[in-house]
Amino acid sequence: TGLANRRGFTTTSDAAIATCRREGLPTSVIVFDLDRFKAVNDGHGHAAGDAVLTGKAGVLRRHLRAGDIAGRLGGEEFAVLCPGLDSEGAAAIAERLLAALQAEVPHPAGPGTMVTASAGIARVAGGDTTAALEAALAAGDRALYAAKETGRDRAVLAPA
């Protein structure tokens, strides 16, 4: 996908979180999971699945703000650190990215079927930067699964 893996994402994010803290700025994280991705791989092959993953990464690169940090956590799960944004600001970015995914990444089944994702958004709290990031990713992941349980193709804020 050309995106950092989880380790690279964490390393780069730690530095950005530390900078935001020094400047008194909030930081939030968005966790994305492609909806029904197993069906893409099973029904259309792994090459089609790889094309969808690469397409999602391209959407992130084209639509994120300068300074946002994107990474692939594993499988079909991606994360974005949004330095300087509270959860509501990050939610607006998540919605924009979900719309771009539908518009820009073709589904291997052809017209009439869209690639969608679900997202969970969480604020990065205080404490050790790595531990705070991991806690925010876990909260974002729980919100992501709430998005999937309530219909998919949506973004859900983690409780504050």
Active site residues: 76
CA distances from residue 139 to 23, 73, 130 in whole angstroms, order as listed: 24, 15, 14
For 108, other C-beta atoms within 10 Å of its C-beta total 16
* Residue-level length of the chain: 160
Burial of 9 (0-12, 13-18, 19+ CB in 10 A): buried
